[in-house]
Chain A
Amino acid sequence: MNKELRRISIVTLAMFLALFVSTSVIQVFAVDDLRADPRNVRTLYASYSAERGPILLSGQPIAESVAVDSVFEFLRVYPEPELYAPVTGYFTLNQGNTGIEGAFNDFLTGTANEQFLDQLGALVTGQRPQGAAVQLTIDPVVQQAAAEAMGDLKGAVIAIEPATGRILAMVSTPSFDPNRLSSHSTSSVLEAYDQLLADPDDPLVNRTIAGDLYFPGSTFKLLVAAAAIDSGQFTSTDVFENPPQLQLPLSTRVITNSGGSTCGGTETVSIETALRLSCNIPFAELGLALGQDTIDDYATAFGFGTAFEVPMTATPSTYPQDMDDAQLMLSSFGQFDTRVTPLQMALISAAIANGGNLMQPTLLDRIIAPDLSIVQQPDPVLVSQPITRTTAETMTRMMVAGVSNGVASNARIEGVDVAGKTGTAENGADRPYTLWFTGFAPAQNPQVAIAVVVEDGGGRGQDGSGNQIAAPIAKRVLEAVLSR
């Protein structure tokens, strides 16, 4: 009987081992998946009953939790709601979280794996669980300047520190008031949410990284010029034919330069001059000569097709594929179907400013635990090197000329070399233009790269230009950085 008993003991032990394994799997290995399940209401309750960490700018909260007398114990409050809503996003009871509130939810609630020891300590000491503070790279002065410069215009401004990728300003207009969405009344949250969602101006969309994306217009010439020079196929002084108008191959469509004349009045025109005066025809010719594969390679190296995580996920910008010659020529001065985020255009300027090195854009300065120890403090990350330092220097020189002696004149700042490129993108026959400026300053020691986009022609339909509307906005933001 003992032999059988021993076997039964082993079977019993195996049954218990199965239970030890199954409980371990559920309580340790599958925890993240189970917590992330949208049907898990515990995650929601937990995110409320713990004191959610604040979102800080240089130590000052732009989102914080205050104790209230309710079952949820804490209410999320945004002291400057409209100014920072594109960055903070919203935090709701039943509509999810966006922006930093969503991207760093684990840290803010204190449930991130990195905070395990703190949780353990809190358990032992019986303290209320507390989330970590997330400090951002946004400079309040620059953000304020950008928002004021945009005023009532619809569009976006993003400013980046070229050497580190730190995002100094992220403005998207019109904005919204996240306080309306952090209410504990699910019905009023739903009402506010539906209202914001139905707003034709899409205030919930962060236009710097997402939304429907924009045609880049002439700002795309930066990428074509950089590709032409960096590939070694052309130099900045190579010339192209300079007709006042050009019929596209196998098409009835005729393109002109802005203004309808030749580019600078000479018989031929160099890449340098074409960029400074932002002429379309020479770039159409250049793009055709360069070929779409080369341009596509450079676009990819500059970040097209990449969903940058800042840490909110940015929509990838796209360069069209399989174009015929006419489409390639159109796309080479920013028309046809190239679609970009302001972030992407700012990254092109930032990479040129940083000697050809593209840095990972980020909003995160550091994550600080409740005991003030630092949980995370990322170092700058190099994403790619789309162009050489020499190409970057050539591009800088051409962009400085564009501001000092070209069509981007409204970005000039007294005593500082500003590098820049304007853009005025067409959206269709009767639709207002999209107005652009991207650039950086100071040209020799860049502290900030910027992209400004203004929708609906800045209220002037097809009469406004990037230099009239977008360049002055960029100028005010650049000044805000330079006078720090």
Chain B
Amino acid sequence: MSSTDAAGPTLEAAAPRVTMTEAITIKLRTPAKLRNLELLLLLVAIGITGAAVALVQLGAIGELDLTIIGYGAGLGMLALGMHVVLRITAPDADPFILPIIVTLNGLGVAMIYRLDLAEGYVGWEMAGVRQMVWTAIAMVIALAVLLIVRNHRVLARYRYVAMLVGIALLLLPMLPGIGQTINGARLWIQVGPFSFQPGEIGKIALAVFFAGYLMTARESLSMVGRTFLGMRLPRGRDLGPILVVWVAAMAVLVFQRDLGTSLLYFGLFLVMIYVATGRLSWVLLGLTLFLGGALIAAQTLGYVNNRFAAWLGAFEQQNYDAIGGSYQLVQGMFGLADGGLIGTGLGQGRPDIVPLAESDFIVASLGEELGLVGLFAILGLYLLFVARGFRIGFNGTDDFGRLLAVGLAFVVALQVFIVIGGVTRVIPLTGLTTPFLAAGGSALVANWIIAALLLRLSDTVRHQPRLVVTDDE
């Protein structure tokens, strides 16, 4: 395995690194090729977003509304500000991550704003304007994360705190008083005028916990155990964590009525434990547990059963007419079909026919107006984002950092698969948000934090001397 990236000069890489301050001064003196590439791509991303918003306005209202474009320019400045912070605090960070998420975030804002125009909303009624504000908040929080977390290993120290926080966030919506049921799923908390989906932040806390826990436990988890049918089964006392996570996932499924989130957390855990231990038996065990639970849930819980029926027989009139049936899914597919290969053009389609077109079904909205070509580009951006995350996993030197990077990247990949797979009938439809694109503040904040952590990890990976290439194959 070798790194072919245009990393810093080898001289600098081999230089002894004593303190953080010293490292920074060294970076500032070297030509920041990566950051220049990032700046270039970022300008392209901001350009794409600006063009998208302008096209939406021309398509939907036939004129340019400079106020909104002004807000957009503000966000562009914020993104550039983030770039400057990266230049100073993480000069070797991956140059693709920021431009990718700015593009996705921008396309999302443009589409949400376009749907507002279709509904005739103005001012604060506009989900697009709120999404812009949330984007600004998310960016500021991401900046804070970059500035505070100068070394990701610090996070490993707080792994059990992360566990408690993660589980607390996960279960928070079940508390009476602040918990809130929206569209049948109990995933939100409401405090005063603010509603928040704590589970989105929870997934980061859990990824930190899994990475920290597996870093210490991977030896014992992977070495010890009885062999049965050619597979080494885990010891009884090592089963604890997987059972805890399974129970939490089932609790989400049963009490919060959310199949997608449940699948997301459990999938994240399985992948991380597999990467840490290299043992397929964990995955098989976990999948059996989850599928068994989900199967029982499908038999006993009406909503899970409905989701399956609406998935398999989406076009049957009976499912189409049913409450919580396939109406939304089928209308989304009509929208996608109408978009076809090249789309109707921004502001030219009718994505507003589909319920929740700005959140759960934003992919259908984008597919309708940007076409298959546009969706391929969006999927390509996600794939690139995930690949950059995995790359950190390949190149990293410490187990915690590698596991965390893989976990964070995979959780984004899995979420994309669950949402877009649900909208395009690969799997049953569940209520997750499309990362960076969909309307929703909590999800935006969470995903920007993920991006900030990946940026931090990628910087650490690059500017550390790689004297010994370890490959445990």
Contact = CB atoms under 8 A, between A and B. Distances in A.
B275 A42 contact: no
Nearest to B425: A22
B350 A27 contact: no
A5 B390 contact: yes
Contacts of A27: 336-337, 339-341, 367, 371-372, 375
Nearest to B345: A123
Nearest to A9: B390
Interface stretch (B13-21, B175-183, B256-264, B412-420): B412-420
Majority secondary structure, A binding face: helix
Contact of B402 (A1, A19, A45): A1
B440 interface: no
B393 A3 contact: no
B333 A4 contact: no
Nearest to A12: B413
A484 interface: no
B375 A39 contact: no
B121 interface: no
Interface footprint category on A: 35 or more
A2 B473 contact: yes
A46 B338 contact: yes
Contacts, number: 127
Nearest to A11: B271
A26 interface: yes
A5 B472 CA distance: 12
Contacts of B426: 18-19, 22
A1 B278 contact: yes
Interface string A1-26: 11111011100110110111011111
B336 A3 contact: no
Interface footprint category on B: 35 or more
Interface string A175-218: 00000000000000000000000000000000000000000000
B113 to A, nearest CB: 20
A220 B338 CA distance: 50
Contact of B376 (A7, A18, A23, A123): A23
Contact of B337 (A1, A22, A34): A34
A70 interface: no
B289 interface: no
A321 B60 CA distance: 62
Contact of A3 (B337, B372, B473): B473
Nearest to A122: B345
Contact of B275 (A5, A28, A35): A5
Contacts of B274: 4, 7-8
A128 to B, nearest CB: 10
B298 to A, nearest CB: 21
- Residue in A12, A15, A31, A41 with the greatest tally of chain B CB atoms within 10 Å: A12
A24 B372 contact: yes
A436 to B, nearest CB: 45
A120 interface: yes
Interface string B363-395: 000010001100110010011001100100110
Given A1-B402, A19-B379, A22-B425, 6 more contacts: A5-B390, A16-B382, A16-B416, A39-B320, A42-B353, A123-B345
13 contacts: A4-B275, A5-B394, A5-B406, A8-B271, A15-B417, A15-B421, A16-B379, A18-B417, A18-B421, A19-B379, A26-B424, A31-B337, A120-B342
Interface of B: 1, 271, 274-276, 278, 315, 320, 330, 333-342, 345, 350, 353, 367, 371-372, 375-376, 379, 382-383, 386-387, 390, 393-394, 399, 402, 406, 410, 413-414, 416-417, 420-421, 424-426, 471-473
Interface of A: 1-5, 7-9, 12-13, 15-16, 18-20, 22-28, 30-31, 34-35, 37, 39-43, 45-46, 120, 123
